Chains A and B, each alone.
Chain A
Amino acid sequence: MIRKILLSVFLVTIAASAASMMGLEALGKPTEGASAITLGRGYAGGAKVGSGIVDWNPAALAFEKYTSFNATMTFEENVASKSGTSYATSTLEIPSLSFIFAMHDFGTLAVALSEKYTSNFDEEVSDSTQTNLASLKYKGNIYEITPSYAVRLPFFRRLSLGFTAHFVMGSVSRKLTLGGDNSEVSEADSWATNSSDITETAEGSWEIKDHPAYYTGAVHYKGRNSSYYFSYTTAYTLKNDLEYNIEFSETDTLVPTKLSREIDVPPTMATGFAYRFHKKHNILLDFMLRGWDADIRNIGGSWNLKDSTDTQTEFMAAIGYERSGSTDYFKNYVQRMDFRLGAWYRNYYICDVTEYGVGIGSGFPLGRRSTKVDIAIQGGVRKSEDSSIWDEKFVGIAIGLTGVGNWGNKPKKVH
């Protein structure tokens, strides 16, 4: 069984090589560090407690009852197309890993590793008539380590406050390997370019300029049936120190030139609402807004590539539904499962790019404790008015594992 699962994962990994082909020159595709739980309800559910870490609502963590661990893996198949031509790519990623330490009256501590942007692309063309070789490889991720603390207020127990510090890290690279084009060289001189592929590289790392981190503060109200939250995330400047080079082989390179690009990320506001009815049914609404006002300088530029990516006001509106499964081990298995459904509409940070999609998901309890495997399938489209950005259709699957520990918990009551 284990071997079969490993084999399946391995096969998926072989197929994986690229994510979305949008924004590769800028920050990449935004992933929001979403877990399989969040993806199953279409990015909605920030206001529903007990969902693990939701990036824009750390305050909900104050109501967590268990110490838990969550890891999510996503596989996405993506087809970019323009006027009849299409190109399919796929990717395998780990967008989030998190630990939650519930300390009850003392609040909740959590730490997560979450992927905010990804730009992974590794494709190669070998000889069609005009192309000797072209291999393009983008490899980039912006990850954050996010320690959070949330606590319920002493007298207004329905109200909680949460804070997250986001420590940014990650790297990015673009490598373009090309063969020679001798169209402007006389035939007698073309011998000089035999087997001389050149790789143009841009490589660098990410950090926040002038500050160790940026921060999110949130306030959450948990009513009997209705819950709300509001959060604010500070603006920050992403700094990307880059080295540009031209390589003939790994050891035959030029002296690189160094440049730094700075990207001003505006503050983010998020709010959400969750309504619970008939004990286990939940309607979820979320809205996130980030008003970009400056263009993003591109990683490499050169040739006829644009030097910068235009931005727009980024937002996400999500609506979702969840039927929470019973925690009673002696109930029917289907009754113990979670069912999720959701849809979202969003504007990317990239000008004119919109995305809408739907997600469905389930949580499968394993064993007596609340250990769970969550599976979500999401699909949708990304569209753009810009002719250089191809429209994309995507379908993805996310698998998450939530492990629940005993640490810090009171002994369970026997029914």
Chain B
Amino acid sequence: MKKFKFLVFAILPMLLLASCIFDSDGDALVTWLDDQGFPSNYLVQTVEISDLELSSYEVGFDSTPRVNYYQGVVGAVNGMQHDWVLDIGFRDKSFFAQYSADSSKEHRSAFLALYPDSGFYDQAGYKSDSLPIKETLELTFSWIIETGKGSDFVDSIGDIKDSIWVAGLRESFEKANSADTTYKVKISSLDSALKIDLPSAFYEDLAQVKEAARVQLRISAPESKRLYRFYGPGADVVPFLRVKRYTQTVVSDGDTTTKDIYKNIWAFRSAIISSYKDECSDCMVLHGGVLESLLVEIPSEKIMTALNEFYGDEFPYTEGDSNDVRQAVVLAQLTMGRSSSTEGSELGFPVQVVAATFVDSNGVDMESSETYKLNREYIKKYGHPNLVFMEGDTLGLQLTQGMRSFINRAGKGAKMQVVLRMGYSMLAPYDTLYYDHVTDDGDSVYIFMDYLTYSRYDFTDYISQPMNLKLWLATKRGDDE
């Protein structure tokens, strides 16, 4: 047994030692790889397709209202009108008894308290010298009041799913009561609420309620000069209705004083309804902040012909199961002309054009946002290539994943489609770090704005012009092919 132990402990360390003595350096492996015919790194080649004209382009707008718990917008900007709808549910028998009493009729009033989204205005660069914001707004209020009984009624309102609620919202407001009113905006401080008196028709309708009500209140300002941002029901300071309950009269020492008693009613969710204000059927216009996209198709034949000429192989690949893994796209970039005008940017910042493409996911085409690789030298000089509303004449969009998936499956008839959307405002367009950071001097750099920008970019003059597509390709082909 001892001999066995000796052997185990003598031989194993010897072998371990041997493995250290037999030196193997990386160069030897490279030589070996080379002898086998392996490359030591993959060869990247570029293929450029110029004078590319899109085979189709089309704007699609999803007019479904969008739930937004944190911010509400009211007004009109860049050819679109954005209305805000607040959803309010409450039950208070004694309040309605007092409020509906005939004696209260002459005292009735209600107003809406809205807080400017100071976070947004800070980031958008509204310095104190740009205050006060003044404007006389023509407001339209529409409302739907549903009545019910018991706490079940109030609970049932909360149970309505957001998606169900917004799906029927436009339609339900078509028959809603409405009234116009004028409101003089004066925002001197971003911390104080706007107090907007509600039309009498609204609070008279509210007087019909006996016990519990659901109030959906829509605020529109179609003629406004700008778009106002307010904190939504999910923020720290929330929008609320303030309704006068009754006027209390107190006689004390012969003096009669009156005091108004109010009830505050908070909205529990809100949605934004966006609509086109000025339709232009021939335009290729993309609006930011809304569910609008521009779907373009790059002609497959052009790409296939270019690859065929470059590699000398058949494209599309139709052998076997037609999945082409002979090469892979390392990067693909489409460049097109663009305007340098800042008109339509809303806040004066450059705005990102976001590209999404279709990639295979287990046999199904999935739309997926493209990744973005930084060309730092270019960014330093010209800013990020995917921005509009800034100096320059070229829009560069990376379509790597989509192009990779397209060439891979072209033999099965895949198409190269791209979805473009307007993205966020870019606060540091020439910064080569693509995330918020602190500079060596201690300055904070925020790359993107945290809030949606309701921009408008007109592609009309550029979308039908020839574009340029550049592919960086890695191949598995050998030298002799």
Contacts and interface: CB of A to CB of B under 8 A. Distances in A.
A12 B12 contact: yes
A165 interface: no
B377 interface: yes
Interface string B7-44: 11101110110110011111111111101111111111
Nearest to A4: B9
Contacts of A248: 328
Given A185-B472, A192-B472, A397 B15 contact: yes
Interface in A186-232: 186, 188-189, 191-194, 196, 198, 200
Which 4 pairs show the lowest CB-CB distances between chains A and B? A304-B37, A88-B22, A304-B478, A305-B37
A178 B478 contact: no
Given A134-B33, A244-B325, A87 B28 contact: yes
Contacts of B360: 255
Interface of B: 1, 3-5, 7-9, 11-13, 15-16, 18-19, 22-33, 35-46, 320-321, 323-325, 328, 330-331, 333, 360, 373-378, 401, 404-405, 408-409, 470, 472, 474, 476-480
Contact of A303 (B27, B324, B375, B476): B476
A258 interface: yes
Contact of B373 (A134, A176, A194): A194
A28 B430 CA distance: 54
Contact of B28 (A86, A246, A259): A86
Contact of A8 (B8, B24, B32, B373): B8
B330 A128 contact: no
B407 to A, nearest CB: 9
Residue among B11, B31, B38 with max Cβ neighbours from chain A (10 Å):
B38
A184 B37 CA distance: 19
Nearest to A186: B46
Contacts of B324: 254, 257
A191 B373 contact: yes
Contacts, number: 201
Given A85-B31, A246-B325, A303-B38, A77 B472 contact: no
Contact of B331 (A181, A193, A244, A257): A193
20 contacts: A11-B16, A15-B16, A79-B24, A125-B29, A125-B33, A178-B39, A178-B40, A178-B41, A178-B42, A179-B41, A191-B377, A192-B375, A193-B330, A196-B331, A198-B42, A256-B325, A257-B320, A304-B39, A305-B36, A388-B35
A183 interface: yes
A191 B374 contact: yes
B39 A303 contact: yes
Interface in A42-100: 75, 77, 79-80, 82, 85-90
B321 A196 contact: no
B409 A255 contact: yes
Contacts of A192: 44, 330-331, 333, 373, 375, 472
A180 B40 contact: no
Interface string A382-397: 0000011010000101
